Amino acid sequence: MKIDRLLSIVILLLKRNRIQAKELADLYEVSIRTIYRDIEAISLAGIPVVTYQGANGGIGLMDGYRLDRSVLTDGDVKDIVMGLQSLSSSLGGPNVTRLLDKFESIIPDSGKAKFTVNTTQFIVDHSGWGNQSAQESKLLKVKEALSQSRTIAFTYRNAQGAVTARKVEPHTLVLKGQQWFVYAYCLDKEQFRLFKLSRMSDPVVMETAFTRRDLSYEVLPWNEERLAAVRAVQPFTLQFNHKSRHLAEDWFGVEALTEQEEGAYTVSVPFPEDAWMYGFILSLGPDVIVKEPAHLREKIRDMALRIASNYGETPTENLEKHSI
């Protein structure tokens, strides 16, 4: 435990210019005297720890000091490789592949078989099904603009169908809910906006360079876009029959199901009522109906009838026949 604490303190000091001994003591739940003993042990190990006096004093490391890669354990390398594998499934590119090869090359031959087993026990694949060439092309354009700190221009269609030409300073690529977004400073609106990659078309990396603006990621700014909707969250109840029970289990978990009479199951879940939620309910198919609230039930019914009318008829009787 002491070795782990010492290494943790060094890593923390690498991230922070200075830190108070009391803060370290509180963080690791030990006495200040123990922290000073730890600092002495770190210094004896050859790591240049500096103690600064005065009001802005504290404990820090000599400027320019960096850890050697030998401090990485096999477990550390395994976790890094698993993270890179997940990254390669969504972003791809030769750089990630080369980095994977570098990390795998430092594993001795005697441990390669075990390492392969450990790094394939848990796989996160963010790539979509089918042809993703259009999205990959846009991702590459945004990555290029990000790496060179250059503005990017594109045509954007919002959820209401309005089409606008945008020029932005891209700051962050965000993968959220299996959808790619670009968090960027919009030069037209003069504020940060979140752009959905699938709604962008014809992206062009401009020659104009920009200086990155200060951002705080302590509160993820892309969550703010949804705060108003989240505050308006309300529960709704879905009813599944025996043929669609697996859908309820897949989406909400076995424990969320309440069994009703005659093989029916209900699930009550909170969601913001918006276009995504309507589409989600419709995607569950004819073996699922909305029980409550009444206005949502009517909304989904009307949408289903409009969908049916697109196929040359409005089979109200068939809809009733397939309902539960």
Q: Where are the beta strands (DSSP E) in 135-178?
A: 150-157, 163-176
Q: What is the DSSP letter of 254?
A: G
User: CA angle, corner 252, sides to 125 and 324, nearest 5?
Assistant: 125
pLDDT of the residue at 243: 87
Q: How many Cα atoms occupy the beta-carbon half-sphere of 154 within 13 Å?
A: 26
Tokens 């221009």 label which residue? 153
Question: How many Å apart are CA 20 and CA 36, to the nearest integer?
Answer: 11
Give the pair of three-digit tokens for residue 305: 């009838």
266 against 221, higher pLDDT: 266
41 against 151, higher pLDDT: 151
pLDDT of the residue at 303: 92
Chain-centroid distance, C-alpha 210: 26
> pLDDT above 70 covers what percent of the chain?
75
234 against 173, higher pLDDT: 173
**Any idea which architecture 233-310 has in CATH?**
2-Layer Sandwich (3.30)
What's the predicted TM-score (pTM) here?
0.51
Give the pair of three-digit tokens for residue 183: 């968090």
Residue-range domain boundaries for the chain = 1-61, 74-121, 132-224, 233-310
As a CATH number, domain 132-224 is 2.30.30
Question: How many Å apart are CA 136 and CA 141, to the nearest integer?
Answer: 9
Per-residue pLDDT band for 251 (boundaries 50, 70, 90) equals: confident
| 3-class DSSP assignment, residue 311 | coil
pLDDT in tens, 28-55: 888 989 988 888 888 887 888 888 877 7
Average model confidence (pLDDT) for the chain? 79
pLDDT in tens, 75-94: 777 777 777 766 665 665 56
CATH class for the domain made up of 1-61:
mainly alpha
Mean pLDDT throughout 62-71? 64
Is a pLDDT exceeding 70 seen at residue 232?
Answer: no
